[in-house]
Amino acid sequence: MTRYRSPVRTPQEWQHIIQEFDSSGLSPSEFCQLHDINIKTFTNNRYKQRKTVEPSEPEPFIEVAKPEAEQRSEPKRHRHPVLSSLCLEAGDCQLHIPTSVTPAWIAELLRGVAK
């Protein structure tokens, strides 16, 4: 029984393949089937490329500021309010996060969104 061995590719070839994948709109498995690439080999090289490629532009930051007391639209209802969730807004998008989550969970979420 002969085992199929994929061709050895240079980092530049993998960079070209991954750029082609990024612009294809296909899922990784569809792309690999179409190009006869082992999915594990593709995933490993995609991970390596993402770690070595520097972003061309700095990541955008969203400025967060605490509103002044007179700028608040709603009056305080409680003397000592207890927050049930944290709301992050960016444009038209809102993300409500319960205050019960750990900072590590929020960090993992932000790492996932950054990918």
The pLDDT tens digits for 38-68 are 999 999 998 888 877 655 666 677 777 777 7
In this predicted structure, what is the pLDDT of residue 89? 80
CA distances for 39 relative to 29, 47, 50, 73, 108, angstroms: 6, 12, 16, 53, 25
Q: How far apart are CA 46 and CA 113, in angstroms?
A: 17
In this predicted structure, what is the pLDDT of residue 66? 75
pLDDT one-digit tens code per residue, 65-96: 777 765 555 555 555 556 677 787 877 778 88
Would you say the C-alpha torsion 56, 64, 71, 84 has a positive or negative sign? Answer: positive
Instruction: Indicate the pLDDT class of residue 109, thresholds 50, 70 and 90.
Output: confident
In this predicted structure, what is the pLDDT of residue 81? 58
pTM: 0.43
In this predicted structure, what is the pLDDT of residue 11? 87
Instruction: Indicate the pLDDT class of residue 7, thresholds 50, 70 and 90.
Output: confident
Would you say the C-alpha torsion 78, 79, 85, 90 has a positive or negative sign? Answer: positive
Instruction: Give the other-Cβ count within 10 Å of 98's Cβ.
Output: 10
In this predicted structure, what is the pLDDT of residue 63? 77
